[in-house]
Amino acid sequence: MLIGQLYQLPVIDFNVDPFEINLSNWSREVSRSLSSPTSVLTVRLQLSCATSFGIKMQYWNLMNSHWEPLIDPWKMSLQA
């Protein structure tokens, strides 16, 4: 290695797999309370959301000249 030599290699590689966000159960629930003298109308919107994706991160090892995992491939799911 030469002193002052500048490497133009990436050091860290972070990947996120393609993902989709699914929105469903768009509905509206309407209820009316007639127990009081002034009736109350209640409207509730319901929504559910789900997604899943994978991530991985690796770094460039100069000693071995290849990519090594920093974060192993990991799949994650979120639901709300």
**pLDDT at 55 (0 to 100):** 92
Range of the domain at 41: 12-79
Would you say residue 36 lies in a domain?
yes
Query: What's the confidence (pLDDT) of residue 65?
Result: 83
Residue numbers in the chain where pLDDT is lower than 70: 1-8, 26-45
- Residue 6 belongs to a domain: no
Residue 61 lies in a domain: yes
Per the structure, the count of domains in the chain is 1
d(CA 49, CA 51): 7
Pick the closest to residue 55 from 70, 38, 65 (CA basis). Answer: 70
CB neighbour list of residue 65: distance below 8 Å, 6 or more residues apart = none
In a domain, 67, yes or no: yes
Q: What is the pLDDT of residues 29-46, one digit of tens each?
A: 655 556 656 666 666 667
Q: Is residue 72 part of a domain?
A: yes
Q: How many CB atoms lie within 10 A of CB 58?
A: 18
Report the pLDDT value the prediction gives residue 31, as an integer from 0 to 100: 59
Residue 49: inside a domain = yes
Q: What is the pLDDT of residue 34?
A: 61
Residue pointed to by tokens 């974060």? 71
In a domain, 64, yes or no: yes
